[in-house]
Structure 1
Amino acid sequence: MFNFAFYALALGVQPVAASQPVVVVPSAPQMIVAPATSNVLRAGAPIPVVLAQALTTKGKNLKVGQRVNLEVAQDVLLNGKVVIPARSPVEGVLTQVRNKGMWGKSGAIYLEMKSVNVNGANIRLRGDMNSRGETGTAGVVGAVVALPIAGFFVTGTSAEMPLGMPGRAFLDQDVTLAG
């Protein structure tokens, strides 16, 4: 049998009589705040981006490794100063492209964001965006029931990433604000 009174005394807690109310006072929360004079935008800071070009798997023109143009959606500020201006060019790279295909296979586009160019300097980013078309599974099932070979001709839809599609990248390095 465990003796709670002994354990409480060992921890330095005084036992409380059953008739006395127990009041717990939480300690003040601990917060770590960077000093206001800090002039470093830390790695991991979010950077809002948008596609500067439309992408689609229609036409089968997209290739893995192809460069994709994006841009910063809004100013990124530090201490009230612009560190990365809106509309700064962001470079992305297609990492996976799947065209729509037979048996209901949908198209897919995956891209990674690599860097943002600010006044001629490239700043590393990390982040990704993707889009998938709809599968044609229901059409394949229906076609196979009616005529087994017909499922071969049913496709999913192409993947689409419209101009201005929003995304979010993250700094992959610290950026120091000059001045």
Structure 2
Amino acid sequence: MTRVLLGAAMMMSVQGAQAQTATAPVQPVATATSAATLRTGTEVPLRLSEELTTKGKKLRVGQRFHLEVAEPVMVQGVTVIPAGSPAIGEVTEVTNKGMWGKSGHLGARLLYATVNGRQIRLSGAFDDKGVAGGVGAVAASAIVFLPAGFFMTGTSARVPMGTIIKGFVDEDVPLAIATGTPPPLAISAPVPVASGQ
């Protein structure tokens, strides 16, 4: 009889421990967000992912080229445009080098960066001009022998891969930024069960 009562008491103790563990309150993880805005004019440093050059006469107006964000863009201490995010630009002007020492020239503008599948419009432009093929030499050779200046050419315009280009956000982008840190989950420890003798 004593063994039956002792066994029943142990069963009740185990069931009570299970009930306490099962009914322990678990707090849901909630993160608060605050509204913020990535403002027009925010600077976005970009790195050219490919070389742009008028050499070979392959560059065309309207041609697109690739860049990447060189440094993270932050709003309220939170990264909203991570470094390495892809960006796109467009060639707006191409002049190839030519006779009489004419140098090459190229112009380009920034279009957008992509973050989490969303395109963020950018503004900004850059250009490069090759070196003229010795204007003084062309003038002197033209006086001495006119056709000699005709064969002198300038250099091609070239913007090397890795060049840092300054861009700017060209639209206000609304953001939802997580604030604070979520509270840790409240997990109760199981009640120790007394071992029987």
TM-score, normalised to structure 1, is 0.76
CA distance in 1, matches of 2:176, 2:35: 11
2:166 is matched by which residue type in structure 1? R
Please state whether the residue corresponding to 2:153 is helix, strand or coil: coil
Instruction: Point out where structure 1 has 5 or more consecutive residues left out of the alignment.
Output: 1-36
Instruction: Determine which of 73, 82, 90 is the counterpart of 1:76.
Output: 73
1:173 is matched by which residue type in structure 2? E
Identify the residue that residue 111 of structure 2 maps to in structure 1. Answer: 114
Instruction: Determine which of 101, 117, 125 is the counterpart of 2:98.
Output: 101
Instruction: Point out where structure 2 has 5 or more consecutive residues left out of the alignment.
Output: 1-33, 178-197
Equivalences, count: 143
CA distance in 2, matches of 1:73, 1:59: 29
Instruction: Report the CA distance between 1:177 and its aligned residue.
Output: 2.2
Q: Deviations over 1:100-129 (max 9, x none)?
A: 001111101110101010111001111111
The share of aligned pairs that are identical, in percent, is 47
Which protein is bigger by CA-based radius of gyration?
A: 2
Q: Deviations over 1:112-162 (max 9, x none)?
A: 101010111001111111111011222311321321111111111001110
Determine which structure has greater relative contact order: mean sequence separation of CA pairs < 8 Å that are 6+ residues apart, divided by chain length.
2
* Structure 1 contact 75–83 (Cα < 8 Å) conserved: yes
Please state whether the residue corresponding to 1:139 is helix, strand or coil: helix
CA distance in 1, matches of 2:36, 2:89: 27
Instruction: Report the CA distance between 1:175 and its aligned residue.
Output: 1.7
Q: Identify, as 1 or 2, the structure richer in helix.
A: 2
C-alpha RMSD over aligned residues: 1.2
Identify the residue that residue 57 of structure 2 maps to in structure 1. Answer: 60
